[in-house]
């Protein structure tokens, strides 16, 4: 049972890492920030989706991007494999 739980955990960690990668690479919606300053006061904000439109809480997006920055994919896989190996020996 614990072995299966670790495999599920591995999948979740990998998904969060990839989600953080996607979020960090996507173009951000700046909203109306700075819209009424400078020369361009009439153009609408960019049509990139907001986190709210994607159903993602900003704090969640920030944490997942932090995981992506803190670890590369190979490190994530190594850590997960090590945990699974440890569970087999117990």
- Full DSSP string of the chain: -HHHHHHHHHHHHHHHHHHHHHHHHSPPP-TTTTTTSSS--SSPPP-PPPHHHHT--HHHHHHHHHHHHH--HHHHHHHHHHHHHHHHH-
Q: Where are the domains of the chain?
A: 1-26+56-90
For the stretch 43-87, pLDDT in tens is: 555 577 888 888 989 898 888 888 888 878 788 778 777 877 777
Reply yes or no on whether the pLDDT at 38 is more than 60.
no
Average pLDDT over residues 9-37: 77
pTM of the predicted model, to two decimals? 0.60
Q: Does the pLDDT of residue 36 top 60, yes or no?
A: no
Rounded Cα–Cα distance for residues 52 and 55 (Å): 5
Average pLDDT over residues 23-50: 67
């Amino acid at each position: 049972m614990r072995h299966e739980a670790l495999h599920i955990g591995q999948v979740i960690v990998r998904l969060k890492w990839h989600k953080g990668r996607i979020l960090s690479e996507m173009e951000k919606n700046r909203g109306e920030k700075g819209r009424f300053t400078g020369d361009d006061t009439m153009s609408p904000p960019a049509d990139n989706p907001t986190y709210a439109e994607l159903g993602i809480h900003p704090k969640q997006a920030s944490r997942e991007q932090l995981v992506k920055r803190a670890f590369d994919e190979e490190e994530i896989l190594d850590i997960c494999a090590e945990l699974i190996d440890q569970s087999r020996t117990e």
